Amino acid sequence: MKNIYIIGVGLIGGSLALDLKKHHHKSKVFGIDHNDAHLEEAIQLNVIDAKATYEDLKNADLVVLSIPVDAAVNEIVKVLDLISDDALVFDVGSTKAEICKAIDQHPKRRNFLAAHPIAGTEFSGPKAAILGLYQDKTNIICEVEKTAFKLQEKALKLFTDMGMRIRYMNPDAHDKHIAYVSHLSHISAFMLGKTVIDKERNERDIFDMAGSGFASTVRLAKSSPEMWTPIFKQNKANVLETLDEYINNLTKFRALMHDDDFDAIYSEMKNTNHIKEILNGIQ
């Protein structure tokens, strides 16, 4: 792992770069990004060591693709065309089915590992990169059997060095489950923020009256639309299914409110309290 190339040096790619530099201090970490200002900032922040281009990928031992999922589907083919036979490539996208389909018949499919480390914040850009972001986070790997065994071993060591837990799924199952536990929560936050902005015209009132509950619930509405719009587009069918379920629950709650059935509302909330035990960890 002498030469590591990070394509996309924002929050996710930048945080990976910091961890890779920590655990592989003899490696040189290069950044590739369409935004040259991001590359300059990443160098100043010591997130990467130097800038690079696709022409340099022939020298890569590891390539990390950390760009919006719509771009990743196209760029992964270009990356695999350029790397050596011994290089490892993995992506970190929030959808897996489309990228796995895109390179299923590629001659260097064995060099690619489809990964999704479930970590992040609502911030973006190189300045958002965090050393240790992936500690104790789950990393979902798809179609691991299609990656060369020696490259699987390299990837798993990288991930465990960063403190990640590994889980295996097929791409379709990943995209279905992640629509519920990640994509829906982002839509909820965006639409909650929109509702408040639409109705509370005085921004000072929002600032002064918003409590910690509102701030924590709407936090994800600060996330990058450039990243999330392609995710919703790629995972449209699963996202629509989750929205139907969510809207049904909201409609039911509204009906209970309308009918003054607060015993039923209490019961719904009490049953949902079980989420505390789930999020505290399954033993």
CATH of the domain at 39: 3.40.50.720
Which one, of 23, 31, 36, lies nearest residue 50 by Cα? 31
Parallel/antiparallel/unpaired status of strands 112-117 and 138-142: antiparallel
Gap between the Cα atoms of 63 and 112, Å rounded = 9
DSSP state of 88: E
Position 56 pLDDT exceeds 90: yes
Both 59 and 29 in one domain: the answer is yes
Total residue count of the chain as it appears in this document: 283
Most confident among 190-194, 195-199, 243-247 (mean pLDDT): 243-247
Host domain of residue 252: 174-281
Domain with residue 195: its CATH number is 1.10.3660.10
Both 132 and 214 in one domain: the answer is no
Which one, of 189, 244, 177, lies nearest residue 214 by Cα? 189
Position 144 pLDDT exceeds 60: yes
Both 65 and 194 in one domain: the answer is no
Both 208 and 150 in one domain: the answer is no
pLDDT in tens, 149-190: 999 999 999 999 999 999 999 999 999 999 999 999 999 999
Overall number of domains in the chain? 2
Position 201 pLDDT exceeds 80: no
Gap between the Cα atoms of 261 and 253, Å rounded = 10
Both 153 and 221 in one domain: the answer is no
Cβ atoms within 10 Å, residue 196: 15
pLDDT, residue 249, reads: 96
Least reliable range by pLDDT among 30-44, 106-120, 263-277: 263-277
* Rounded mean pLDDT, 231-242: 97
* Rounded mean pLDDT, 58-68: 98
For the chain, give me the number of helices (H) and strands (E)? 13, 8
Q: Are 2 and 30 in contact (CB under 8 A)?
A: no
Q: Are 31 and 52 in contact (CB under 8 A)?
A: yes
Residue 210's pLDDT band, with cuts at 50, 70 and 90, is low
Using alpha carbons only, give the angle 140, 223, 219 rounded to the nearest 5 degrees.
Answer: 100
Consecutive H or E run containing 153:
helix 149-161
Q: What percent of the chain has pLDDT over 70?
A: 95
Position 211 pLDDT exceeds 80: no
Parallel/antiparallel/unpaired status of strands 165-169 and 28-32: unpaired
Domain end: 109, 135, 169, which one? Answer: 169
Against a cut of 0.85, is the pTM above it? yes
pLDDT, residue 212, reads: 67
pLDDT in tens, 85-126: 999 999 999 999 999 999 999 999 999 999 999 998 889 999
pLDDT, residue 130, reads: 97
Both 149 and 36 in one domain: the answer is yes
Which one, of 11, 279, 7, lies nearest residue 133 by Cα? 11
Both 34 and 163 in one domain: the answer is yes
Gap between the Cα atoms of 213 and 257, Å rounded = 21
Domain end: 169, 184, 202, which one? Answer: 169
* Rounded mean pLDDT, 129-152: 97
Gap between the Cα atoms of 205 and 281, Å rounded = 38
Parallel/antiparallel/unpaired status of strands 112-117 and 165-169: unpaired
pLDDT, residue 53, reads: 98
* Rounded mean pLDDT, 49-69: 98
**Mean confidence (pLDDT) of the chain:** 94
Both 144 and 27 in one domain: the answer is yes
Domain end: 123, 150, 169, which one? Answer: 169
Position 283 pLDDT exceeds 60: no
pLDDT, residue 138, reads: 95
